[in-house]
Amino acid sequence: MIDFVQSLDRLSRRLSAAAAAFGCIAILLIAIGVTVNAVSRYVFNAPSMFVDEYAQYLFVCCFYFGVGYTLRQGKHVSVNMLVNRLPEKLRSGFAIVILSLSVVTIGVMCYYSWTAFQSTYRAGIVSLTPMETPLALPFLAVAIGMTIFTLELLVATLRSAVGVQPHPET
């Protein structure tokens, strides 16, 4: 069981890092796009029609691709003032329960994000802008991000349950 958890931990770490890297690229693209749009609007009086729309989609990518990595790094907001006062054994049991509930909750949200992606893709729904962007693309980003987040929560739960420390390259 420990080998399985360690293998899953390595896979999850790699997926989260790749998604976070894409999220960083999305931030860079947003900055470049907004800057170029501002210059073209005020200097050449020729704004780009797609920058605002795509910046919003890239922001969705940035957020959802970053949540799994943020969890892995222990940077999500948490309030531990009560939990830290519990004895260590009770604290670890409490963590397993909370993580398990989180896996179920986020897992349900993950399922519905894939359902939303599939229905949007099948219906061929596009944005109501001149670019007519297929809305399945931002829905896909949400679904992928939620899947990685669910995997990270599952790995954290399994690590806590079997007493495995996170992979050292985290």
Residue 168 lies in a domain: no
> Tens digit of pLDDT per residue, the chain (170 long)?
889 999 999 999 999 999 999 999 999 999 999 999 999 999 999 888 899 999 999 999 999 999 999 999 988 877 777 788 888 888 888 889 999 999 999 999 999 999 999 999 999 999 999 899 999 999 999 999 999 999 999 999 999 998 877 765 54
Q: Say how many domains are in the chain.
A: 1
Residue 140 lies in a domain: yes
Residue 167 lies in a domain: no
Q: What residues make up the domain containing 147?
A: 2-162
* pTM more than 0.75: yes
Q: What gap in Å lies between CA 59 and CA 121, rounded to an integer?
A: 20
Residue 76 lies in a domain: yes
- Around 51, how many Cα atoms within 13 Å sit in the side-chain half-sphere? 17
Residue 91 lies in a domain: yes
Residue 56 lies in a domain: yes
**Paired tokens of 51:** 């920058």
